[in-house]
């Protein structure tokens, strides 16, 4: 019989993987990896504000992640050098967040849990919030799927088809902020981008259509969560990084499979 904490951890990780898979595909297709990093790093500042004002960690991280995502989108739309802008914002927000946490008095903060996650410590309330956020993200992506694909393929084609690229970019921005907010306790701020990118990149070696890639990315994420939890318990390793390591192993296998298929 499995322990309740392990069941909660598995459910939380699977819920995150469901949403991170399809969203991660758009991150890979649009080459938004650094964008995800910047939003995730900003989550630490959200944690500091949440602790300072005694509000929910999820509310704080969602607010700051959303603000960061909207800021980056606005700057990109004005022609700023996006890679430089993302680098400045990502590292600055992380540093400001870590400094701000040190000024929060009367609260004992486990920084490692927020940086690398503590999936084994999630509560049932966390599980419900994660599944609620995942459901919201999946519903939004399913609703806008054709428009998102068209805008990802070509903004000119999207405009010719009556699709507003800015609106589709906003949908992705909102979805990314929600995933960052719910993932903070599972894999932590430093590993959220990895859970978005690695399963999607691994799925690319198995899928021939965007829809299949999205499904495979979610499945790979789920496998990584379960394998990472098993490895964490078996070898007494940190759970969050173990999950990411499991995803990296699947990616390596996918890359090898893709190479063999090309030779064949």
The reported pLDDT for the residue numbered 150 is 94
pLDDT tens, residue by residue, 34-91: 778 888 888 899 998 888 888 888 899 999 988 887 887 777 666 666 677 778 888 8
Mean pLDDT along residues 116-121? 90
Q: Would you say the C-alpha torsion 128, 66, 85, 159 has a positive or negative sign?
A: positive
Q: Out of 6-20, 74-88, 93-107, pick the least confident.
A: 74-88
- The pLDDT value given to residue 80: 62
Highest mean pLDDT pick, 89-93, 136-140, 166-170 = 136-140
pLDDT at residue number 149:
94
Q: Please, are residues 182 and 130 in contact by the beta-carbon 8 Å criterion?
A: yes
In whole angstroms, give the CA distance from residue 226 to residue 219: 11
Please give the model's pTM, rounded to 2 decimal places: 0.90
Per-residue confidence (pLDDT) for residue 102, from 0 to 100: 84
Which domains, and CATH codes, for the chain? Answer: 4-190 (1.10.3470.10)
**Cβ-contact 147, 163 below 8 angstroms:** yes
Instruction: Inform me whether the pLDDT recorded for 31 exceeds 90.
Output: no
Mean residue pLDDT across the chain: 88
pLDDT for 169 beyond 80: yes
Whether 86 and 72 have beta carbons less than 8 Å apart is answered as yes
- CA angle (169, 175, 179) in 5-degree steps: 145
Percent of the chain with pLDDT over 90: 47
| 98 close to 111: Cβ distance less than 8 angstroms | yes
pLDDT at position 35: 79
Cα three-residue angle 32-130-144, rounded to 5 degrees: 50
Residue for token digits 């819920």? 15
**Rounded mean pLDDT, 151-159:** 89
Q: What is the mean pLDDT of residues 150-159?
A: 89
Q: What is the DSSP string of 175-192?
A: HHHHHHHHHTTTT-TTTH
Is the model's pLDDT at 129 over the cut of 90?
yes
Asked if residue 110 has pLDDT above 60, the reply is yes
For residues 85-102, give the mean pLDDT. 86
Structure confidence at residue 155 (pLDDT): 85
């Amino acid at each position: 019989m499995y322990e309740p904490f392990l069941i909660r951890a598995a459910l939380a990780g699977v819920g995150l993987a469901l949403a991170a898979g399809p969203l991660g595909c758009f991150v890979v297709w649009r080459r938004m990896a650094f964008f995800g990093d910047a939003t995730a790093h900003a989550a630490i500042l959200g944690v500091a504000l949440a602790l300072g004002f005694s509000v929910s960690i999820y509310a704080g991280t969602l607010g700051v992640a959303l603000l960061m995502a909207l800021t980056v989108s606005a700057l990109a739309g004005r022609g700023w050098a996006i890679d430089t802008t993302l680098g400045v914002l990502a590292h600055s927000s992380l540093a400001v967040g870590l400094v701000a946490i040190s000024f929060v008095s009367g609260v004992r903060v486990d920084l490692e849990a927020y940086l690398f996650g503590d999936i084994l410590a999630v509560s049932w309330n966390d599980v419900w919030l994660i599944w609620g956020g995942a459901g919201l993200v999946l519903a939004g992506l399913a609703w806008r799927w054709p428009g998102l694909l068209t805008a990802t393929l070509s903004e000119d084609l999207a405009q010719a088809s009556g699709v507003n690229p800015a609106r589709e970019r906003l949908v992705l921005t909102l979805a990314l902020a929600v995933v960052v907010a719910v993932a903070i306790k599972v894999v932590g701020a430093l590993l959220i981008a990895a859970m978005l990118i690695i399963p999607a990149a691994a799925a690319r070696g198995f899928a021939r259509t965007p829809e299949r890639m999205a499904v495979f990315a979610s499945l790979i994420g789920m496998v990584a969560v379960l394998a990472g939890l098993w490895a964490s318990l078996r070898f007494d390793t940190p759970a969050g990084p173990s999950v990411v390591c499991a995803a990296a192993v699947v990616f390596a296998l996918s890359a090898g499979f893709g190479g063999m298929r090309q030779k064949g």
